[in-house]
Amino acid sequence: MKCQRCGSEPFERFRGGMYCRECFAVKYEGAVESAVRRYRMIGENERVLAAVSGGKDSVAMLSVLEKLKKRFRFEFSSLFIDLGIGDYTRNSKRIVEDICKKLDIELHVVRLCDYGFTIDDVSGKTCSVCGNVKRYIMNRFARENGFDSVATGHCAEDILSNFLKNLYSGNIQWSEKQRPRLDGYDRMVTKIRPLYEMGERENILYVLSRGLPFVEDECPHAPSTIWKEMVYDIERRIPGFKISVLRNLARERREDSAEYRYCRICGEITSSDICQFCRNVARFSRNQ
């Protein structure tokens, strides 16, 4: 079987068709472009900050954004958060620096240790602390440096497994957050997910087709994969489940104006007196 677009040596299937490396990359980029259009993710002249960990998803996102920036006329730079997870962080940082150099993308680095602790200091619920830290730093860095939105490499399975997990835990209001674009308000910067409709397998194949390096080892604190396995299981039984739920989640809904306050310590938005990030700093900080 040959590439159905140009007749060259085949590489992989993409949504039913067989393609060579180059045509696979072009088809993939086209699919991300349609999603960016469909959900009006990026406005003209916007300044986008792409959060990158060095994993396959965020590398795929960087490469596609670089391809799309001329067509959609936006500017973008990337942000790497140094979480201080030993060799894993050092290795990831080196790979991200390589890619940004190769693609000629400006890279910013923020170190969690400058706030007084690292993820290695965290005992117990490491992943939820890590998630909180990343959301906090992305938002604050983007706002303080004049970016209009933060792009993250969440793929279809990330969104759907988060949705199931939140449903299970009773955080129904969190399903509101599983959308391709969340408009900013007050001190919260707009969040966008360019890979909203892309599967993680498609992301890895795309990164390979473009010959880009990525972090292959898992974070030593990686969370359970059970919810993701569930997503694959449902898709196997109900083909089309993923895309159907994603599009339902993306629909415009009337939003309840949730109550929020400002953190007494840092002034960021929170639902209580002191934000979760500042509570983490107080709890895990080394200098006390």
Residue ranges that bind Zn ion, judged by CB under 5 A: 3, 5-6, 8, 20, 23, 263, 265-266, 275, 278
Q: Which is nearer to Zn ion, 6 or 226 (CB)?
A: 6
Q: Which is nearer to Zn ion, 230 or 266 (CB)?
A: 266
User: What is the closest distance, in whole angstroms, from the C-beta atom of residue 27 to Zn ion in the complex?
Assistant: 9
Give, as one character, the DSSP assignment of residue 219: P
Structure tokens at 261: 């306050």
User: What is the closest distance, in whole angstroms, from the C-beta atom of residue 25 to Zn ion in the complex?
Assistant: 10
Q: Which is nearer to Zn ion, 5 or 69 (CB)?
A: 5
Q: Which is nearer to Zn ion, 24 or 39 (CB)?
A: 24
User: What is the closest distance, in whole angstroms, from the C-beta atom of residue 11 to Zn ion in the complex?
Assistant: 8
Helix axes 156-169, 226-237, angle to 10 degrees: 110
Q: Which is nearer to Zn ion, 79 or 263 (CB)?
A: 263
CA dihedral 87, 112, 96, 102 (to 10 degrees): -140
DSSP E strand boundaries for 52-140: 75-82, 107-111
| Terminal Cα distance for the chain, rounded | 65
The residue whose two tokens read 């934000």 is: 275
DSSP E strand boundaries for the chain: 12-14, 17-19, 47-51, 75-82, 107-111, 149-151, 181-182, 190-192, 261-262, 269-270
3-state helix, strand, coil in the chain (%, to 5): 50, 15, 40
User: What is the closest distance, in whole angstroms, from the C-beta atom of residue 186 to Zn ion in the complex?
Assistant: 14
Alpha-carbon span 26 to 28, nearest angstrom: 5
User: What is the closest distance, in whole angstroms, from the C-beta atom of residue 142 to Zn ion in the complex?
Assistant: 16
User: What is the closest distance, in whole angstroms, from the C-beta atom of residue 14 to Zn ion in the complex?
Assistant: 11
Q: Which is nearer to Zn ion, 2 or 102 (CB)?
A: 2
